[in-house]
Amino acid sequence: MKNLFIVHTPFNLMTAFILSKSVFADDDNYLAIMHPQSFESWKNVPVLNYMHSKECGYKEVFLLIRWFRSGQGSYRKQVKEAKTMIGDLNFDKIFLAVDIDIQAQLLLAVLGKTSYYRYDEGMWSYYSGGHSRTWLREIFHLCELKAICFLAGIKTDLQFNTAGIGVAGAALGDYLYRPELLMRKSPKVYEITNEMIGTTISDLKDKGLLQQQFDKDTVLYLSQPLVEKGEVSEKEELAGLLRVMKKFDGKAHFLYKPHAIDTQKKIEKYKKAIPGMEVYDSKVPVELLSAAEPKIDTVISYASSGLMFGDKFSSRKINMLSLSGLCEKNMDPDACDILQKAGVLFIK
């Protein structure tokens, strides 16, 4: 069997790695990296560098960094380049995280495929209402895809999905960390089990790629730009964080993992107010940190997927806290329900 995993983010990369090293370990696995986030920084992080290399078991890694993005030449030229790169490989299964992604679907069309499997993308994988399009936008993007196929010379029977995440008719099933939380329909659900995760974590630890760094109780804050969007005040967010830190009586590390649009002014203000705060701008998925760091006591965010899977990656209890109760705008009720069922506690 030949499998192709299409990834965009470090979280995608981790999940593809887990699947390729466990349930599909006996197959020939290939990786396609498509318009990734901050790809250059992946190379500077040993565990990410390993997980997107042939060294970790992939037969080949295809770099489609800006494929079908502006400035990359004609559509026909880009199709030819992808076909040349991949050659005559015929994949039995293709896995993608986001079934609404235009470039990923175009790659499927170029490869002559009409079906695929989805794998866990975090919160978006569990309910369709969080990223659904209006009927008008759905039709617009479908026409856009059809036009691109015509201009690129792509002939396909693939049923394109432009309606929303998780609703593709071409999907054959979903590989999920927490299938019991799923709030949408799926043709077939496969659990990414603790055993599958444990196998891959052991591999990373044996190679020295996951090592403990924290020597005392640690609180990790996964920032989301709610202050910047005006949905919560800086004062309220800071007060919520200080409330959590108070129980540690100044004896815990506070690691602030910034969002890309966090302001430096806000970060500096928080550093002055929160004892022991350090900026922790790591690209490593928080799930791998949970597995590597026994001193992580608490993870805080709003509605981040980083709150959902701690117990799947760690053998100990990690407190997962949401600040969404501080927001002026109510959280999507389905997202709130998912977090509550995942064991997340809400700070008000």
CA dist., res. 348 & res. 333, Å (int): 16
Tell which residue, 23, 180, 25, 33, has the closest CA to residue 96. Answer: 33
CB of 287 within 8 A of CB of 306? yes
Q: What is the pLDDT of residues 157-166, one digit of tens each?
A: 999 999 989 9
State mean pLDDT over 323-342: 85
Q: How many CB atoms lie within 10 A of CB 160?
A: 22
pTM above 0.85, yes or no: yes
Under DSSP, the state recorded for 66 is T
Q: What is the pLDDT of residues 80-122, one digit of tens each?
A: 999 999 999 999 999 999 999 999 999 999 999 999 999 999 9
Provide the pLDDT confidence category of residue 130 given band limits of 50, 70 and 90: low
The first and second tokens of residue 233, run together, are 């005040």
Structural domains in the chain, CATH included, are 2-206 (3.40.50), 218-346 (3.40.50.2000)
Provide the pLDDT confidence category of residue 27 given band limits of 50, 70 and 90: very high
CB of 161 within 8 A of CB of 146? no
CA dist., res. 334 & res. 314, Å (int): 26
CA dist., res. 94 & res. 324, Å (int): 36
DSSP per residue, 106-138: HHHHHTT---EEEE--SGGGT-SGGGB--HHHH
Give the residue, 188 or 335, on which the prediction is more confident: 188
CB of 168 within 8 A of CB of 117? no
